[in-house]
Amino acid sequence: MPIIGKASPEDTGLHPIHYKWAYDLYQQGIRNTWFPHEIALKEDLIDFENMTDDEQHAVKYIMSFFNPAELVVNRSIALGLYRYIKAPEAHLFLARWMFEEANHCVAFEYVLESFPFDREDVYSQHVNVKEMKAKEEYVAKYTKKMTDETLDIETIEGKKDFIRNLVATNLVMEGIWFYSGFMVILSFRQRNILRNFGSLVDWVLRDESLHLKFGMQLIHTVLEETPELLSEEFANEIQDLIVEGVRIETEYNKALFPNGILGLNAEYVNEYVKYVADRRLQEIGLAKYYNAQNPAKWMSTATDVLELVNFFEMQNTKYEADSHSGGNK
């Protein structure tokens, strides 16, 4: 059974499992279950009120992107990926993935409820701020054929559109843009502020590591099953797609940090973005483009998807113990 194609009655039987990696990721997702409101944010509110205007702007700006972005990913899965994938074990993971994106949306809503944000202002930024609007337009360009139209998934061009969408939403949006925002939030915890918000982001990051692992494995599987896609021309196109995503993110980060904050500015974050982009290129079999160094060594494990998946697998029992005892991470 090929992993993508037109649906058939044979696609409804889970066994025999053809893609064990998809079922294993689903099982790990189940073990990773967490709930946002188990993480108290009261202390973080005190931290936030004592932060500078530029620091508060950075937190608000990131929230303005993250909240709607989680629902964009969910829409892409529900209306795009799901209907073109044949393997039932992959459908299980996609269903789990959608739950996790919904949980992330609730998590960021929880942050909005806890911090003194103007909700209408936060929501309006992703369409009113040109750097955020550029992100939306980039993703929409690649998801439109998947969500609003119908691919001829049996053709080479249809499979190319499938890969293009997956790279834009999974590797670029979740694997580069999200990681850029995670790094900024977690940098505050490095300064011993917003520690519980940082813990919440840890759990979101753990979920995203599984999403990335699935997306990259799916790309590799489609390429293995359709060797006609393995052309230099298509590889260059995918590289250009990722490079364009990086360009958009670097402009976004300049607006995120118009003046810089203690220990962090746009140049620093953008060097990290380029480093992460090089890792993503390598993880799908392409060469580095930027040859950037990681300025945030403390994020090194989080940047490597395979290391992060293994790391969080070892952390599951700690979360279960904390949540059962009523403690906070």
Q: What is the DSSP string of 179-200?
A: HHHHHHHHHHHHTTSSHHHHHH
Sign for the pseudo-dihedral over CA of 309, 193, 200, 323: positive
Q: Is the separation of the CB atoms in 84 and 3 below 8 Å?
A: no
Q: Which positions are annotated as active-site residues? A: 110
CA 268 to the chain's CA centroid: 20
User: Residues 6 or more apart from 155 whose CB is under 8 A from it?
Assistant: none
Single-letter residue type at 81 = L
How many other C-beta atoms are found inside a 10 Å radius of the C-beta of residue 71? 13
Dist CA 192 CA 305 (whole Å):
26
Residue pair 288/282 in contact by the 8 Å Cβ criterion: yes
Euclidean distance between the first and the last CA atom of the chain, given in angstroms as a whole number: 43
> Can you tell me whether residue 4 is helix, strand or coil?
strand
Q: What is the CA radius of gyration of the chain?
A: 19
CB 284 within 8 A of CB 294: no
Whole-number Cα distances in Å, 206 to 44, 145, 176, 179, 244:
21, 29, 14, 11, 26
Q: What is the DSSP string of 250-293?
A: HHHHHHH-SS-BTTB-HHHHHHHHHHHHHHHHHHTT---SS---
